[in-house]
Amino acid sequence: MSKESSRKFSPETNAVRIQVPRTDEMEHTAPMFLTSSFCFDNAEEMRATFADETDFNVYSRFSNPNVDELVRKMCALEGAEAGYATASGMSAIFASFMALMKAGDHLLSARSIFGSTHTVVTKFLPKYGIETSYFDINDPASIEAMIKPNTKMIFVETPSNPGLEIIDLALLGEIANKHNIILNVDNCFASPVLQRPIEFGAHLVTTSATKWIDGQGRVLGGVVVGKQELIKEIHAFCRSTGPAMSPFNAWVLSKSLETLFVRMERHSSSALKLAQSLEKNPHLAFVRYPMLPSHPQYDIAVKQMSGGGGIVCFELKGGLEQGVRFLDALELLSLTANLGDSRSIASHPASTTHAKLSDAERASVGITPGLIRISVGLENVNDLLIDIEQALEKSA
Ligand SMILES: *Cc1c(COP(=O)(O)O)cnc(C)c1O
């Protein structure tokens, strides 16, 4: 806030109004602090800052006013004590693992996680002596039995990418807190507008800001927020290893947060409308959306999310081959690897991101051969529906 206010504002207001202090130029919009380092008035001030006796900025690998503004907003939205922003979602997730686990520790992760996170969990963590195992998101009763004396962290993504599987955060929060384990939730798909994992007992929330937070497909970014003592470790790890977010990206993302609430409401209402209409389409085996009563975890979705978000999935009756034909038949939707854009996007995981896996491996992470993932943008929803329906007709 430019003037310190004693009133507590709601998250929507904080997303708009939290701002770096106004400079002598009296600008309205936050200026961009494209500077690698910061000056000191005298040697004593510099000494005190290096001795951690002040909280002045030193170097943009450690902190930067634009990055701090973004982090303060994300903390306000997620209800978190502290945070750190990184160059991408993956560096936020990786830093949360590397800063808080050591050789001999065990990570218990949901099986349905983002592809690159899966690579980190299965390929890289074991290289550093960190043991990992997967639990099935559809079998929450198995989780507690998989906890070992050395289990340090539980990691989940809900809703999951791309299968939209949902896990009960309150149940996980209870288990993690009972066993004194860090619960780390990737909240990328819901965003803090629709779901706040910390309210259910999570200790860390990681987010790819590249997706809904940017919302216009421009910049990469990641944020991790949570308990002060955990963020302190993550900050110490990042300040020395260097995955810092660029001030330019932070400026873009912080401006984006001003519209996050209105955008997520519109993404969610369009996605629900699309999902409801497609559920009646004869070319589809099923439609998956958190707020459809036919979703297997609908009851949990309603309990922990205030909206379904912008991703809709459906299964083509014609499987893998129809998936390829469907993408080619689209006229309006983009074929691109991103999601969470103002422009709607279609993807077919079985022929692209998950093509290297076997059918059985794909099935274990909720990806069927004809699964299509739609990231619903801000276009008129009827235009989207017409494009998808004509592509279904043409590819059938
Ligand atoms: C995209 C994504 C990530 C990785 O984020 P980047 O910004 O691409 O590094 C992590 N988790 C989920 C759920 C994602 O969709």
Distance of CA 323 to the CA centre of its chain: 26
Token pair belonging to 376? 């619903």
pLDDT digits (tens, 9 = 90+) for 274-304: 999 999 999 999 999 999 999 999 999 999 9
CA of 224 to the centre of ligand 1 (A): 12
Q: Smallest Cα–Cα separation from 140: which of 115, 112, 163, 121?
A: 112
DSSP letters, 300-311, are: HHHHH-SS--SE
Can you tell me the distance from the alpha carbon of 320 to that of 323, in angstroms, rounded to the nearest whole number?
5
Ligand 1 centroid – CA 89 distance (Å): 5
Tokens representing 198 are 């910390």
Residue type, 212: W
Q: Based on C-alpha coordinates, what's the Rg of the chain? A: 22
Whether 288 contacts 163, CB under 8 Å: yes
Domains in the chain, CATH or no CATH each: 11-257 (3.40.640.10), 261-395 (3.90.1150.10)
Residue among 304, 330, 329, 326 nearest 317 (CA): 326
Alpha helix positions (H), the chain: 11-17, 43-50, 65-78, 89-100, 115-119, 141-145, 169-178, 191-194, 228-241, 247-257, 260-278, 298-304, 319-329, 359-364, 381-395
Q: What is the model's pLDDT at position 137? A: 83
Position 2 pLDDT exceeds 50: no
Distance CA 217, CA 373 (A): 17
Q: How far is the CA of 390 from the centre of ligand 1 (A)?
A: 30
- Asked if pLDDT for residue 132 goes beyond 60, the answer is yes
Q: What does the pLDDT read at residue 3?
A: 53
Ligand 1: which of 94, 161, 224 to mutate, most ligand atoms within 8 Å of CB? Answer: 161
Q: Could you tell me which residues are beta bridge partners of residue 109?
A: 134, 155
Question: 3-state class of 251 per DSSP?
Answer: helix
Q: For residue 189, how far is its CA from the centre of ligand 1 (angstroms)?
A: 9
What percent of the chain is predicted at pLDDT more than 70? 98
pLDDT at 330: 98
Give the Å distance between the CA of 375 and the centre of ligand 1.
14
**DSSP three-state, residue 6:** coil
pLDDT of residue 56: 95
Which token pair is 100? 């808080």
Q: Which H or E run includes 373? A: strand 371-375
Which residue, chain included where needed, has tokens 């900050």?
Answer: 235
Whether 63 has a pLDDT exceeding 90, the answer reads yes
d(CA 227, CA 342): 32
Distance in Å, CA 162 to ligand 1 centroid: 11
Q: What is the pLDDT of residue 5?
A: 60
Residue 45 has pLDDT above 50, yes or no: yes
Q: Report d(CA 94, CA 207) in Å as an integer.
A: 12
Distance between CA atoms of residues 63 and 67, nearest Å: 7
What burial class does residue 142 get, using C-beta atoms within 10 Å of its C-beta: 0-12 exposed, 13-18 middle, 19+ buried?
Answer: exposed
What is the whole-number distance in angstroms between the Cα of residue 335 and the centre of ligand 1? 17
Please, what is the Cα angle at 375 between 243 and 359, to 5 degrees? 85
Q: Where are the alpha helices (DSSP H) in 89-179?
A: 89-100, 115-119, 141-145, 169-178
Least confident of 1-15, 159-173, 344-358: 1-15
pLDDT bucket at 41, cuts 50 / 70 / 90? very high
Ligand 1 centre and the CA of 46: distance in Å?
Answer: 38
The answer to whether the CB of 332 falls within 8 A of the CB of 374 is no
Q: What pLDDT, on a 0 to 100 scale, did the predictor assign at position 359? A: 85
* CB-based burial label for 221 (10 Å; 0-12, 13-18, 19+): buried
Q: If you take atom 5 of ligand 1, which residue's CA is the nearest one?
A: 89
The rounded percent of the chain whose pLDDT value lies above 90 is: 90
Which residues have CB under 6 Å of ligand 1? 88-90, 114, 116-117, 157, 161, 186, 188-189, 208, 210-211, 220, 222
Structure tokens at 351: 């022929």
Is 90 exceeded by the pLDDT of residue 133? yes
3-state secondary structure of 225: strand
Spacing, Cα 273 to ligand 1 middle (Å): 26
Ligand 1 nearest atom to the CA of residue 113, by list position:
13
5 CA → ligand 1 middle, Å: 35
Residue 186 vs residues 94, 288, 302: alpha-carbon distances, Å = 12, 20, 19
Q: pLDDT tens across 79-92, in order?
A: 999 999 999 999 99
Nearest CA among 106, 145, 162 for reference residue 323: 162
What are the residues facing 135 on neighbouring strands? 110
Taking the CA of residue 90 as reference, the ligand 1 atom at the shortest distance is 9
The pLDDT value recorded for residue 4 is 54
pLDDT in tens, 322-381: 999 999 999 999 999 899 999 999 999 999 888 888 888 888 888 899 999 999 999 999
Locate the ligand 1 atom nearest the alpha carbon of residue 188 and give its number.
13
pTM of the model: 0.96
Which residue out of 118, 210, 365 has the highest number of ligand 1 atoms within 8 Å of its CB and is therefore the one to mutate? Answer: 210
DSSP of 38-76: ---SSHHHHHHHHTTSS----BTTT--HHHHHHHHHHHH
Confidence of residue 6 (pLDDT cuts 50, 70, 90): low
Mean pLDDT of 90-106: 98
What are the strands, taking DSSP E only, across 137-268? 151-157, 182-186, 204-208, 222-226
Whose Cα sits closest to atom 6 in ligand 1? 89
Q: What token pair was written down for 7?
A: 């009133």
pLDDT computed for residue 1 by the predictor: 43
| Number of residues written out for the chain | 396
Residue of 94, 111, 116 best suited for mutating to test ligand 1, as the one with most atoms within 8 Å of CB: 116
Across the range 200-218, mean pLDDT stands at: 98
Pocket test residue of 86, 114, 191 for ligand 1, highest count of atoms within 8 A of CB: 114
Residues near 55 by beta carbon (within 8 Å), at least 6 away in sequence: none
